[in-house]
Amino acid sequence: MPADDEGSDIHCRLDELLEARGMTLTELSKQVGVSLVNLSVLKNDRARAIRFSTLTAICDALDCQVGDLLVTGRASS
């Protein structure tokens, strides 16, 4: 079944993880080699796709698992 174009039940917790680690989006961008614009799109739940290599780089930089970064639903922890 094709993905719904209206949105997703997947929420990116990038803000929460950055805050918990005392890191800015700019610092993460430099560390992982992904543009600030692309990270902002991900952070604001507007990304339509993400490369596994990008997920790996973000998770390595934040010392987390993919399940810590991407969760089902929009409720924040």
Q: What pLDDT does 12 receive? A: 96
CA dist 22 and 45 (Å) reads: 21
Name 9's Cβ contacts closer than 8 Å, sequence gap at least 6: 72, 73, 74
Question: 3-7, 9-13, 23-27, 66-70 — which is least confidently predicted?
Answer: 3-7
Q: What is the pTM of this model?
A: 0.83
- Residue 77 confidence (pLDDT) above 50: no
Q: What pLDDT does 11 receive? A: 95
Domains of the chain: 12-72 (1.10.260.40)
pLDDT tens digits, 17-56: 999 999 999 999 999 999 999 999 999 999 999 999 999 9
